[in-house]
Structure 1
Amino acid sequence: MRVKENIRIVDPACGDTVMQLVLEPVDGSQVKPFTAGQFVRIAVPGLKEPAPGYFAIASGPEVTSSYEFYIKNAGPLSAHLCALQPGDELDLEGPMGKGFNLEAYKGSDIYLIGVGTGIAPLRSVWSHIIHHRSDFGKVAIYAGFLTSLHQLLTDELTDLSHHGIEVSITLETGHENWDGPIGYVQHALEQDDIDGSNAIACLAGMSAMVDACTETLHHLGFDDSRILLNY
């Protein structure tokens, strides 16, 4: 596949670099269909180094012309991907992983919980939900970021209210103008005392975050069958 767009999506004052990488088939065909939350293996053609890596698809399954990814510059491969220009080519394998298949959960409330670039597969899910909004009850997103400079998709998350989707943003480090939750996303879940009686939760992020949120969700009435991971 080739690069269609590669755009920085965090504040220039942020110490991290996160890019929105959009890849399209070289021959102009459609991308392979996938389930929201699945990921692909990306490799640089003709090179053993940097080693290939796995990245969640951030675009919704209804988009058939390209795949979108959020790439944080955090290693040799991601550094290479962050520097790509339109027209550059990459090798992709997949989609793979089980993703978040919501077919069996129609009528349920949906909670999407992730931090940092871990919201990429969740963005695929909420994009899918928007196309099928009447199939689900309450939909809420709990996203966590280090600081306000590290926030991703600020405008898009704000606009989700137009689709009946609630959004809670937690900052690990707040500031004087911040009136939202401070700490970790599991603290926001506890504070809101969310109802797990007819709900599922989709978790995406680092293992420590997933473990902490899973423990909190158990306390809120979610059993393991209603706590979904995409791998």
Structure 2
Amino acid sequence: HYDIGEIGEMHHNHAKNVLYVRAEVEEISRRLGTSTQEVAALLASAKKKMYAARLQRPTPYIDKTIYVGWNALCISAYFKAAEVLQIDLARRFALRSLDRILAQGWSKERGLSHVIAYADSAAANRPIAGVLEDYAYTAAACLDAYQATSDLRYFRFAQEICDAMIARFYDAEGGGFFDSEQPPAPLGALAARRKPFQDAPTPAADPAAAISLLRLHAYTNDASYLEKA
């Protein structure tokens, strides 16, 4: 069922196996010439033994940090799922998640936070300012919320966040957006700011920022948004 053998899949240690379902109960039953009930019972017994063995090892660390930008990406995906698949639960989940980010992570005075919940209390005492992707993704999520609800509150949030993004990251001389704010004191190599145009596992922040500005221009006809995009 799990394709466990003497030669496993781990390149650094071939004695170790990566468990995956290679054959379902029905197929194993046909191969062994036995009933599916018997195979299912054997599989259930094996799973219990493997779980008991797993409990003898340290459990993996779970990072419970809530990153604003990554959550905003997920929120936009939930809005799209709600629209395309007509799932109201996805829409309500997206709105509830966005409301938490805005309540805990945004203010006009301090801007947007990079994190709204930390894995440990010590880190919570060292708040981290948001970077470009946090602003770009959250602005997009707010516009998605406005599109889904027609609630002007979300549109105003999107506009405020985009205005703050321009003030903090926009390069007035060369155009485009830097990924971080100018540090108050020299930090050596860490002071080098980039303009991220290439996608990684997440969308590149500069194009994401431009898209949010283009959407705002379409709503407001404010030429400054179009110019900076």
TM-score (norm 1): 0.23
Greater helix fraction, Structure 1 or Structure 2: 2
Greater strand fraction, Structure 1 or Structure 2: 1
Structure ID, larger Rg? 2
TM-score (norm 2): 0.23
